[in-house]
């Protein structure tokens, strides 16, 4: 049996790094083209996910499971790569292991964002402050498809990583909690924020030891995130509550809450018989206790608010009604809007009609 000579063994041992070097040179040369094409592909897949996610509440628990797996794997590999983080964090082209780990994490969080968009849109009112949070989700979803820039920001900017990971985790948990337990969104939102921030901090750092400046920045960002969720809940749509249907009418059967008629987008004041009522149907994918209030506006001025009504929303819908009966006996002309609120002045529905 022949054995390899010493020079042959040296050649064999040296061939492995040579192949790795050639592969890396090939990857570096074509990396920009690959990630550019992948960005377009990811955006297209995200749009498909938006359409597939509509009314698919049953998939929400699976989304949370995938996020947990992504969190654990990212934390594990992040610690293993912490030794060469200083080099890969600043390098234009990171090490292959770091790039693969980052890609898997981005893909899961990216598709999660696109999946969540329809559910938040259902509970968003464009004229209310909560449009800002939905717009943030849309912006992060689109930006996450810009692979080259997005990956570099996640590697080099811990504060951006904290905002991104915390926002996605918060949006998912905030949707899931009321579906798992009879928890009013007013209480579920602060709890979701605390869990999201706690899970996002280790991901943002990826096993590295933060500098003093980074620690201060992370602490301030954490406080700001929690303060917004707890102190300004109206900025977040009260998912999964949503307005299913709203009907303006001249009368109602109080036993069944069925409207006597349906008024069109505009109506003559003389046809209202001195009263205008509205029946709204509130939807949730499971039994969900909530407190709702209806605010009436005429020409953008609030002139009436109903009492707080305790309901249990469910998938068959829960009807709430309120009416406006002016003392003069005649409903004044104008543009009327009724805003549907839950606790914390969180708007999740609006209906309008023109009285001529």
Do 208 and 86 lie in one domain? The reply is: yes
The SS3 of residue 324 is: strand
What pLDDT, on the 0 to 100 scale, is given for residue 207? 55
Do 202 and 115 lie in one domain? The reply is: yes
Do 117 and 248 lie in one domain? The reply is: no
The residue among 264, 279, 276 whose CA lies nearest residue 321 is 279
Q: What is the mean pLDDT of the chain?
A: 82
List alpha helices for the chain, DSSP H.
6-53, 60-80, 85-90, 96-122, 131-143, 147-156, 158-180, 185-205, 212-231
Domain for residue 315, yes or no? yes
The string of pLDDT tens digits covering residues 211-252 is 788 778 888 888 888 888 888 888 899 999 899 999 999 888
Do 67 and 86 lie in one domain? The reply is: yes
pTM: 0.82
Give the pLDDT band (50/70/90) at residue 185.
confident
Which domain-ending residue is among 169, 200, 235?
A: 235
Q: Is 30 or 249 the better-scoring residue by pLDDT? A: 249
Average pLDDT over residues 20-24: 74
Do 18 and 163 lie in one domain? The reply is: yes
Do 153 and 191 lie in one domain? The reply is: yes
Domain for residue 57, yes or no? yes
Which domain-ending residue is among 235, 262, 284?
A: 235
What pLDDT, on the 0 to 100 scale, is given for residue 178? 85
Question: Among 102-106, 173-177, 208-212, whose mean pLDDT is lowest?
Answer: 208-212
Do 291 and 196 lie in one domain? The reply is: no
What pLDDT, on the 0 to 100 scale, is given for residue 10? 43
What pLDDT, on the 0 to 100 scale, is given for residue 11? 43
Here the contacts of 221-228 (C-beta below 8 Å, separation 24 or greater) are: 221/159, 221/162, 221/163, 222/162, 222/197, 225/163, 225/166, 225/170, 225/193, 225/196, 225/197, 226/190, 226/193, 226/194, 226/197, 228/193
Domain for residue 1, yes or no? no
Give the pLDDT band (50/70/90) at residue 88.
very low
Question: Who contacts 289 (Cβ-Cβ below 8 Å, separation ≥6)?
Answer: 182, 183, 184, 310, 311, 312
What pLDDT, on the 0 to 100 scale, is given for residue 92? 59
What pLDDT, on the 0 to 100 scale, is given for residue 12? 47
Residue 296 forms beta bridges with which residues? 304, 338
The string of pLDDT tens digits covering residues 285-316 is 888 888 899 999 999 999 999 988 888 888 88
What pLDDT, on the 0 to 100 scale, is given for residue 18? 72
Do 252 and 231 lie in one domain? The reply is: no
Q: Residue 344 is part of a domain; what is its CATH number?
A: 2.70.50.60
The SS3 of residue 195 is: helix
In 10 A of CB 350, how many CB atoms? 17
Do 63 and 176 lie in one domain? The reply is: yes
Domain for residue 73, yes or no? yes
The residue among 155, 165, 70 whose CA lies nearest residue 113 is 165
Rounded to whole angstroms, how far apart are CA atoms 270 and 276? 11
Q: Is 219 or 354 the better-scoring residue by pLDDT? A: 354
The string of pLDDT tens digits covering residues 258-269 is 888 889 899 998
Rounded to whole angstroms, how far apart are CA atoms 131 and 80? 40
Task: Please report, in angstroms and rounded to a whole number, the separation of the first and last CA atoms in the chain.
Answer: 103
Do 106 and 224 lie in one domain? The reply is: yes
Which domain-ending residue is among 214, 235, 256?
A: 235
- Number of structural domains (the chain) is 2
Do 198 and 307 lie in one domain? The reply is: no
Rounded to whole angstroms, how far apart are CA atoms 9 and 12? 5
Do 280 and 224 lie in one domain? The reply is: no
The string of pLDDT tens digits covering residues 115-174 is 999 999 999 998 889 999 999 999 999 999 998 888 888 878 888 888 999 999 999 999
Phi, psi values for residue 334, rounded to 5°: 150, 180
Domain for residue 153, yes or no? yes
Domain of 296, in residue numbers: 242-355
Q: 101 pLDDT exceeds 90?
A: no
- Structure tokens belonging to residue 320: 């709430």
């Amino acid at each position: 049996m022949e054995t390899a000579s010493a020079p042959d063994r040296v050649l064999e041992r040296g061939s492995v790094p040579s192949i790795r070097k050639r592969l890396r040179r090939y990857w570096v040369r074509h990396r920009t083209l690959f990630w550019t094409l992948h960005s377009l592909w990811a955006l297209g897949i995200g749009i498909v996910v938006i359409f597939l996610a509509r009314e698919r509440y049953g998939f929400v628990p699976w989304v949370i499971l995938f996020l947990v797996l992504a969190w654990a794997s990212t934390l594990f590999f992040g610690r293993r790569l912490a030794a060469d983080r200083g080099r890969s964090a600043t390098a234009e082209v990171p090490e292959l292991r770091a790039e693969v780990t980052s890609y898997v994490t981005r893909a899961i969080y990216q598709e999660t964002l696109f999946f969540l968009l329809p559910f938040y849109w259902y509970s968003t009112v464009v004229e209310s402050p909560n449009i800002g949070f939905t717009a943030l989700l849309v912006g992060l979803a689109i930006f996450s498809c810009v692979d080259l820039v997005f990956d570099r920001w996640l590697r080099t900017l811990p504060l951006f990583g904290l905002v991104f990971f915390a926002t996605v985790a918060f949006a998912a948990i905030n949707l899931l909690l009321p579906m798992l337990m009879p928890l009013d969104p007013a209480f579920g939102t602060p709890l979701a924020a605390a869990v999201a921030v706690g899970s996002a901090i280790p991901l943002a750092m990826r096993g590295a030891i933060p500098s003093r400046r980074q620690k201060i920045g992370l602490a301030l960002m954490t406080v700001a995130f929690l303060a917004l969720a707890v102190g300004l809940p109206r900025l977040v749509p009260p998912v999964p509550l949503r307005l299913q249907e709203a009907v303006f009418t001249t009368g109602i059967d109080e036993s069944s809450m069925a409207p006597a008629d349906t008024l069109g987008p505009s109506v003559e004041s003389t046809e209202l018989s001195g009263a205008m009522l509205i029946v709204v149907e509130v939807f949730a994918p499971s039994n969900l206790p909530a407190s709702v209030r209806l605010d009436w506006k005429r020409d953008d001025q609030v002139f009436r608010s109903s009492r707080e009504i305790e309901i249990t929303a469910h998938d068959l819908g829960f009807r709430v009604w309120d009416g406006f009966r002016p003392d003069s006996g005649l409903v004044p002309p104008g543009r009327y809007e009724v805003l549907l609120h839950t606790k914390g002045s969180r708007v999740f529905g609006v209906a309008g009609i023109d009285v001529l």
